[in-house]
């Protein structure tokens, strides 16, 4: 695996592959790799001839008082894992390589970035959209892979790619979970052993809410309120718990079929996010009197 720190070395390597007709996949990460990231790399290998992984703890997506300084950096272990997995190139730039000191341009997917996590982390998705757009311009991959766990992030990126006509296919990869159901995340490392047991209840609350929707419970608001109560009683401070349309993250209505439950909650010092996507099978219209009689009901 080649390791490069500059955009010009990165471009030379990608250009050489392209000149021999090889396709390129990009897996953007902030490092501290876990099984979720490794699933992205494995999927990338199926989608393209060459796999570029970026490790860059992006300062512009962290707010004041957030964990930019303390975000886990595990360079050596990350390199070993990527080598063992067969990634072709690791791009690990310094902040000054990515952002000019007087950078003035920000990519903002308005009307989506302010909701849910964006309401609690103002500016976060502008930082994500900007750095992902820059990475796409640096690597020019044919395909890029992101975890479904960060569902709002994935929706922001898909919308940006559509709106800016960026020629890249975006692939969402299934969330990898611990046996307890807890979604893998670099921030799980902040949890104490006791908190880790409680943390699995976030996924449980999502599954219970999904089952209530699928069982035909009509009031989505009641389902959300019950989940928020369950989370509070379990020791979380929830930020939001929302049933949304999977396509655009607007609040789900009675006729929507493709849904996602999005949740974020703080547990001690750790902020956890998770989601569950599911399809609602259209309810069959009630039988007419004649049909019911014909079926002997």
Q: Catalytic amino acids?
A: 37
Minimum CB–partner distance for residue 135 and ligand PAF (Å): 8
Q: Report the alpha-carbon distance of residue 193 to residue 191 in Å, rounded.
A: 6
Name the nearest CA neighbour of 217 among 225, 209, 207: 209
**With respect to ligand PAF, which residue has the nearer C-beta, 17 or 68?**
68
Nearest one of 80, 26, 28 to 51, comparing CA atoms: 26
- Is the Cβ of residue 132 or residue 244 nearer to ligand PAF in the bound state? 132
Q: Output 87 or 132, the one with its CB closest to ligand PAF.
A: 132
Minimum gap (Å) between residue 1 Cβ and ligand PAF = 18
As measured in angstroms, the least distance from the Cβ of 14 to ligand PAF is 18
Which residues are near ligand PAF by CB under 6 A? 28-30, 58, 61, 128, 131-132, 150, 153
- Cα 16 from Cα 22, distance rounded (Å): 9
d(CA 132, CA 130): 6
Q: How far is the CB of 78 from ligand PAF (least distance, A)?
A: 12
User: Among residues 88 and 150, whose Cβ is nearest to ligand PAF?
Assistant: 150
Least separation in angstroms between residue 37's CB and ligand PAF is 8
Q: Which is nearer to ligand PAF, 22 or 74 (CB)?
A: 74
CB-based contacts of 61, cutoff 8 Å, min separation 6: 123, 124, 125, 127, 128, 131
CA–CA dist 108, 128 (Å, integer): 9
Among residues 114 and 208, whose Cβ is nearest to ligand PAF?
114
CA dihedral for 74, 76, 77, 83, sign (positive or negative): positive
**Alpha helices of 30-150 — where are they, by DSSP H?**
35-47, 75-85, 95-98, 117-120, 124-139
Residues 43, 173 contacting (CB under 8 angstroms): yes
Sheet order of strands, 143-147 included? 2-4, 89-91, 50-55, 24-29, 143-147, 169-173
Question: CB 233 → ligand PAF: shortest distance, Å?
Answer: 30
DSSP assignment of 217-283, as one string?
---HHHHHHHHHHHHHHHT-EEEEEEEEETTT-PBP-TT--EEEEEEEEEETTEEEEEEEEEEPPPP
């Amino acid at each position: 695996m080649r390791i490069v720190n500059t955009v010009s070395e990165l471009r030379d390597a990608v250009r050489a592959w392209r000149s021999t007709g090889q396709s390129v996949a990009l897996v953007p990460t902030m490092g501290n790799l876990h099984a979720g990231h490794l699933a992205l790399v494995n999927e990338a290998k199926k989608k393209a001839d060459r796999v570029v992984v970026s490790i860059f703890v992006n300062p512009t997506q962290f707010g004041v008082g957030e964990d930019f300084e303390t975000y886990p950096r595990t360079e050596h272990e990350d390199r070993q894992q990527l080598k063992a997995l067969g990634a072709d190139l690791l791009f690990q730039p310094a902040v000054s390589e990515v952002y000019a000191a007087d950078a003035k341009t920000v990519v903002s997917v308005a009307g989506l970035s302010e909701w849910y996590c964006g309401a609690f982390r103002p500016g976060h998705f502008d930082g994500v959209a900007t750095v992902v757009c820059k990475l796409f311009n640096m690597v020019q991959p044919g395909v890029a892979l992101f975890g479904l766990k960060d569902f709002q992030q994935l929706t922001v990126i898909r919308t940006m790619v559509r709106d800016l006509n960026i020629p890249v296919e975006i692939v969402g990869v299934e969330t990898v979970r611990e046996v307890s159901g807890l979604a893998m995340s670099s921030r799980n490392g902040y949890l104490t052993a006791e908190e880790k047991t409680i943390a699995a209840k976030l996924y449980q609350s999502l599954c219970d809410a999904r089952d209530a929707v699928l069982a035909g419970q009509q009031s989505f608001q009641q389902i959300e309120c019950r989940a928020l109560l369950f989370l509070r009683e379990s020791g979380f401070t929830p930020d939001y718990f929302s049933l949304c349309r999977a396509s655009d993250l607007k609040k789900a209505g009675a006729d929507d079929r493709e849904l996602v439950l999005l949740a974020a909650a703080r547990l001690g010092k750790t902020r956890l996010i998770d989601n569950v996507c599911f399809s609602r099978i259209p309810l069959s219209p009630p039988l007419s009197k004649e049909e019911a009689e014909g079926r002997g009901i």
